[in-house]
Amino acid sequence: MRTSRWTALGVLATSMLMTILDGSIVTVAMPAIQDDLGFSPVGLSWVVNAYLIAFGSLLLLSGRLGDLLGRKRMFLVGTALFTAASVLAGFAASPGVLIAARFLQGVGSAMSSAVGLGILVTLFAEPRERAKAFAVFSFTGAAGASIGQVLGGLLTEALAWNWIFFINLPIGLAALLVALPALPADRPATTRGGADLLGALLVTSGLMTGIYAVVKIEEHGAASAHTLGLGALALALLAGFLVRQATAAEPLMPLRVLRSRSVAGANLVQMLMVAALFSFQILVALYMQQVLGYGAAKTGLAMLPAAAVIGAVSLGLSARLIARFGERAVLLTGIVLLVGVLGLLTRTPVHASYAVDLLPVMLLAAGFGLALPALTALGMSGAKEEDAGLASGLFNTTQQIGMALGIAVLSTLAAARTDSLTAAGRPAAEALTGGYHLAFAVGAGLLVAAFAAAFTLLRTEKPAGRELTMAA
């Protein structure tokens, strides 16, 4: 049983790695995709947006359906759909086919990712082992972006952009073959009135509308009628969803899950952290390429030290620190290190030395390895077993919302600052650097807010030794 549990963890981590790799690997290959398929600049953004909208809007629904229909079944179907859609994307010969395939990839990713943490908390009941499992899972997600940039650059330059999608076929098939015997068969929750179809419609349409509005901010502006109108509609739909959940006999999302202070606080902290750290994962790569002149493969290799220290801390240190000091203390320490990451990035010069200006930033990224496992444990700590899929879907949903907000807000601020400096007559590299500095500073501010929220909202927990409980 012990071996099969760790094998199951390997399957779940592989699925997470495939999802994260897909996101970062695509960004590196975008110029080649545009040249080959004839995308317009606006149309090219939908290679990312189609995936993000489907993925982010369906996580909560997928998590709850996993509780109702079986989490193993949801994981298998989602992985199979993602793998098939990846093959379709690789063979795409027109923009429309690629965008449709990316949407289907997002649907499959939502189905498999939403239940991953829910399966983990049922597999690993002993606190120390659960901390180790969360460390492995979190490392996979944090390191996947760096690995994806290296792999995307190598595949695109050595073969063709199609192979960034074809590579998912052997990984997906292997994950399915191992998952069938390794993942535990779970008993679906019983419901008297069936699934809450109205609640599902409200939350999915609300999240889809909201994420669409956010990803289009850079095109239309934050104060435009387009953004404000769609934002208001999304809020109205989500408010309707909450009202429905408070009154439905069999709610899609029982509101009891939000009564746990750890769950609610951890999701808020995660949203702020992910929004801030978009500037590290994406804008640092853009700074290297657009200002320092690095190629795609060199950029990925330059970020590998970050993946290495994240892995060393996540896998070798975080579980022991959590067992000794508790999740809250480890989370706060990790956030402090990440504030240092973005603080240093606000001082990077136009002609930066990697060893002097960037390598210290990569090493301080060890804060990811502390913060993410602790935050994941807190985000799942208040869920009953029958709500594990829902709590997992909620945690992943706030992650995607934070990512969408980070992309929209920080990239818009960076672009506006760059335009202002260019208009003032500054050289292109200096103007770009100034724009990135502003985004890094705002990101550091978001991390300070995350620290304050974690310090205020998250209770000091006993180090290890507690079971999942739900606040009454």
**Does any domain span residue 471?**
no
Specify the pTM. 0.75
Angle at the Cα of 174 (from 171 to 179), degrees rounded to 5? 120
- The pLDDT assigned to 105 comes to 93
**Does any domain span residue 58?**
yes
| 10-residue stretch averages of pLDDT, the chain, 472 residues long | 71 80 71 77 72 79 79 90 93 89 90 80 74 74 64 68 84 88 72 65 82 75 83 89 82 73 84 82 80 78 82 79 86 93 91 90 87 81 64 76 78 85 91 92 94 84 41 32
241 with 264, same domain: the answer is no
382 with 294, same domain: the answer is yes
- The pLDDT assigned to 465 comes to 40
210 with 106, same domain: the answer is no
Q: Residues 141, 117: contact at Cβ < 8 Å?
A: no
* Residue located via tokens 């199609």: 162
332 with 349, same domain: the answer is yes
**Does any domain span residue 189?**
no
369 with 431, same domain: the answer is yes
Query: Residue 345: which CATH number?
Result: 1.20.1250.20
160-174: string of b/e by CB count within 10 Å (b at 16+)?
Answer: ebbbbbbbbeebbee
**Does any domain span residue 233?**
yes
- State which of 251, 275, 297 marks the end of a domain: 251
109 with 59, same domain: the answer is yes
165 with 243, same domain: the answer is no
- The pLDDT assigned to 88 comes to 94
> SS3 of 125, please?
coil
Report which residue type is found at 52.
L
266 with 239, same domain: the answer is no
**Does any domain span residue 462?**
no
Domain residue limits at 152? 2-184+252-457
- The pLDDT assigned to 471 comes to 35
378 with 411, same domain: the answer is yes
- State which of 251, 271, 298 marks the end of a domain: 251
CA end-to-end span of the chain? 33
Task: Give how many domains the chain has, as a whole number.
Answer: 2
